[in-house]
Amino acid sequence: MALRAFLFLCIPLLLGLAGCGGSLDLSRNSAIVGLEEFPGSLEPPYGLDANSQRIQHLCFASLLSLNPDGSFSNELAESVVMQDKTTFVFTLKDNLVFSDGSALTASDIVSAYQEILSPSSTSFLKGAYAIMQSVEATDRRRVVFKLKEPFAPFFMLATLGISKKLPEGGPRLASGPYEIKEVVENQRIVLKENPRWFGKHPSLERVVFKLVPDESERVLELKKGSIDIIQNGFTPDLLPFFQEDTGLAVSQTPGSSFTYIALNLHNPYLSDIRVRQALNLAIDREKLAKSLYKGMVVPSDSLLPNGHWARHPKIGAPPFDAKKAKALIKEAQGVFPKRGVPIPINLTLKVSSNQVALRLAEALRSSFLDVGVNVGIQTREEGAFFEEVRSGLFDMYILTWAGVTEPDIYRTLFFSSSVPPAGDNRGFYANPLLDGLLLKARSSYEREVRRELYWRVQEILSQDLPYLHLWHTRNTLVHRRSIEGVKPDALGSFRFLLEAKRSG
């Protein structure tokens, strides 16, 4: 009731603010999307954050497009042929053009990749693309990629958005369904339909991405109609309010972003499998999903989302069993003094200053205390949090991997040598058997072979517990009912805008 009263009182105060930051010349057939963070860069080699990449995907087509289930479809490519295990030949669709009408040819594909591969490149993608030995155009429509070694996740590298720089600067020429019309830094980005796009044209002629960093203001603007759509940009407590509002519609779909608790296995308590098992059993995931997240998450015991081709079919969310957890802690504490490890168990859980993450940490601390583990909560601002996490300076931390699609992420996260400061195996997990499976999986191009290898990987990790798996996010769109055809996808992308239309 307090929230409803707050909204009722504040909406009239904001009605006159729509023109702040400059007026928008929008056609009736348009939509405004509210953003909590402004994109860092709309140039494909440099936009690291999620909003940058989501907007790029609307403007810059790629050789292949990634589907929500982790498979791929041709986009700019008409076909792709693997000549041998390190050579791929792409043939472009005929008569491709950029948004200014200039031809898009194989040489433009080469230029896009050379911008990353160049020794002087500052792109964050440079490390991931280092597997490429060369990229060459053999004619106007054919591009040959040569790899340094067999690399099964190569198709992920073929999802790079293709753009073209203008000599005079400004937004790059588009190759996708929209082009960039205007960028007002830290205020808005305006896209307009690309009339030269070869595919199905979107119904919305223009889309505006408007920065509204404060959650309360985003909600108010959505309520009064100066924003049409928000995606995942609100705390779960607001979901019931949106669902009750007759002027708004809520659409949800299971997502691929995964939340977990990482454990530092150099810690003398967490190096004991009984403690890890106890912590895992102490978490009532179903209760937290309902009470704290209002059903906006789906408990899981795999990084890979439901429906992914490599997800293990029989691994589910672990059960809640506080009684068994207590017994495991008691058993572990019986041997710790003999090892010179003090009891009771005291650990620190590190979280960012995000309020939802902090509430989760408080709930977990209570659950862990109930089974005999003392946990202190340590909050950090985002920059400091990530710096300490990447350096391995933690006992436990809570974080989310956004958009998990390629199962080679297991090598990134758990390969024995991929440890800080350079690698992402931040908990210092080591298992030679797992290493061998991961190397085989990334070098085999046979999906069935990879699937079986990743099933075994998931089985091992569910036993060793270097992570405590929590849940996958349900991607949630809230939009005004005047915007129809809106459906989120598992990737959390903005591609729902390609099917959306305004009814009035």
Task: Read off the CATH number of the domain in which 403 is found.
Answer: 3.10.105.10
pLDDT of residue 6: 39
Residues 6 or more apart whose Cβ sits within 8 Å of residue 327: none
pLDDT of residue 13: 37
pLDDT of residue 315: 84
pLDDT of residue 423: 85
Same domain, 130 and 240: no
Domain presence at residue 21: no
Same domain, 106 and 219: no
Distance, CA of 59 to CA of 497 (rounded, Å): 12
pLDDT of residue 301: 87
pLDDT 10s digits, 142-199? 999 999 999 999 999 999 999 999 988 899 999 999 999 999 999 999 999 999 999 9
Q: Spell out the long-range contacts of 1-6 with Cβ–Cβ below 8 A and sequence spacing 24 or more.
A: 3/237, 3/238, 3/241, 4/241, 6/216
Same domain, 336 and 406: yes
Distance, CA of 354 to CA of 169 (rounded, Å): 37
C-alpha closest to that of 62 among 42, 76, 78, 51: 76
pLDDT of residue 152: 96
pLDDT of residue 15: 35
Side chain identity at residue 293, one-letter code: Y
SS3 184: strand
Helices H / strands E in the chain, number of each: 14, 19
Same domain, 97 and 201: no
Domain presence at residue 444: yes
Same domain, 243 and 324: no
Distance, CA of 446 to CA of 291 (rounded, Å): 42
Tell me which residue range forms the domain holding 214: 2-16+31-58+168-253+475-502
Same domain, 216 and 360: no
Same domain, 343 and 369: yes
Same domain, 178 and 227: yes
Same domain, 425 and 460: yes
The C-alpha angle with vertex 267 and arms to 265 and 270, in degrees rounded to 5, equals 60
How many domains in the chain?
Answer: 3
DSSP string, 224-285: HTS--EEES-S-GGGHHHHHH-TTEEEEEEEEEEEEEEEE-TTSTTTTSHHHHHHHHHT--H
Q: How many CB atoms lie within 10 A of CB 39?
A: 20
Distance, CA of 453 to CA of 310 (rounded, Å): 9
Q: Domain with 240 in it: what CATH number?
A: 3.40.190.10
Q: What is the 3-state secondary structure (H, E, C) of 451-498?
A: HHHHHHHHHHHHHHCCEEEEEEEEEEEEEECCEECCCCCCCCCCHHHH
Q: Domain with 130 in it: what CATH number?
A: 3.90.76.10
pLDDT in single tens digits along all 504 residues of the chain: 344 443 433 433 333 334 344 455 565 789 999 999 999 999 999 987 889 999 999 999 999 999 888 889 999 999 999 999 999 999 999 999 999 999 999 999 999 999 999 999 999 899 889 999 999 999 999 999 999 999 999 999 999 999 999 988 899 999 999 999 999 999 999 999 999 999 999 999 999 999 999 999 999 999 999 999 999 989 999 999 999 999 999 999 999 999 999 999 999 999 999 999 999 999 999 999 999 999 999 999 899 998 899 999 988 777 899 999 999 999 999 999 989 999 999 999 999 888 899 999 999 999 999 999 999 999 988 888 989 998 899 999 999 998 899 999 999 999 999 998 878 999 999 999 999 999 999 999 999 999 999 999 999 999 999 999 999 999 999 999 999 999 999 999 999 999 999 986
Same domain, 266 and 372: yes
Domain presence at residue 25: no
Beta strand segments in 264-356, E = 297-299, 345-352
C-alpha closest to that of 154 among 163, 144, 165, 141: 144
Q: Spell out the long-range contacts of 167-172 with Cβ–Cβ below 8 A and sequence spacing 24 or more.
A: 171/42, 172/42, 172/43, 172/60
Domain presence at residue 24: no
* Element spanning 221, H or E: helix 215-224
pLDDT of residue 24: 55
Same domain, 357 and 376: yes
pLDDT of residue 51: 93
Distance, CA of 361 to CA of 381 (rounded, Å): 15
Domain presence at residue 248: yes
Same domain, 123 and 246: no
pLDDT of residue 49: 86
- In a 13 Å sphere around the CA of 193, the CA atoms on its Cβ side amount to 20
Token duo for residue 482:
């005047």
